[in-house]
Structure 1
Amino acid sequence: MKLTAYSIMAALVLAGCSSSGTGSGMSVNLGLGGLIGDHVGLGTSVNIPIGSGNKVPQNGVRVLEEQTVTYFDAQGRTSDNAVKGGFRRQLISKRADNEYIVQDFYEDNNRKRTDPIVITRAKLMDFHAHPEDGTLTVYAYNGNIMQQQTYRQGRLVDAKY
Structure 2
Amino acid sequence: MTTRSTGLCNKWTMLTMAVLPLLVACQSVPTQEAGLSKQATAVASQDAPVPVLGKDAKGHSIIAFFGAPDTDSEGSLFKEAQQGGFYRVYKGKNAAGQLQVQDFYQANGAPQTSVFVVDPAANVLDWAVLPQDGQITFYRPNGAVRGVTTYQQGKLEGKDIYYNADGTERSVYTWRNDLLDGPFFAQYPGSQSRVEGVAKDDAIVSIKAFDDRGQPLPQEDAERMLEASMIFWYDDIFQ
TM-score, normalised relative to structure 2: 0.38
Q: Which runs of 5+ in 2 are unaligned?
A: 1-57, 69-73, 163-239
Asked whether 1:84 is paired with 2:78, we answer no
The answer as to whether partners of 1:105 and 1:113 remain within 8 angstroms in 2 is: yes
Give the equivalent residue in structure 1 for 2:15. none
Larger radius of gyration: 1
The answer as to whether partners of 1:130 and 1:136 remain within 8 angstroms in 2 is: no
| Larger RCO: 1 or 2 (CA < 8 Å, sep 6+) | 2
Q: Which runs of 5+ in 1 are unaligned?
A: 1-56, 58-64
Give the equivalent residue in structure 1 for 2:149. 149
Larger strand proportion of the pair: 1
- Distance (Å, rounded) in 2 between the aligned partners of 1:136 and 1:159: 10
Larger helix proportion of the pair: 2
Superposed, which structure 2 residues align to 1:53-64 within 5 Å?
A: none
Give the equivalent residue in structure 2 for 1:10. none
Asked whether 1:127 is paired with 2:127, we answer yes
* RMSD value, Cα: 2.2
- Distance (Å, rounded) in 2 between the aligned partners of 1:97 and 1:153: 13
Cα gap change, 1:98 to 1:126, in 2 (>3 Å): farther
Offset at residue 95 of structure 1 (A) = 3.7
Among 62, 68, 71, the residue aligned to 2:62: 68
1:54-101 Cα deviation digits (max 9, x unpaired):
xxx9xxxxxxx7321111111222112101111110011134686211
* Count of residue pairs brought into register by the alignment: 98
Offset at residue 159 of structure 1 (A) = 0.8
**Paired letter, 2:88:** R
- Distance (Å, rounded) in 2 between the aligned partners of 1:103 and 1:134: 14
Give the equivalent residue in structure 1 for 2:101. 102
The answer as to whether partners of 1:90 and 1:104 remain within 8 angstroms in 2 is: yes
Give the equivalent residue in structure 1 for 2:161. 160
TM-score, normalised relative to structure 1: 0.54
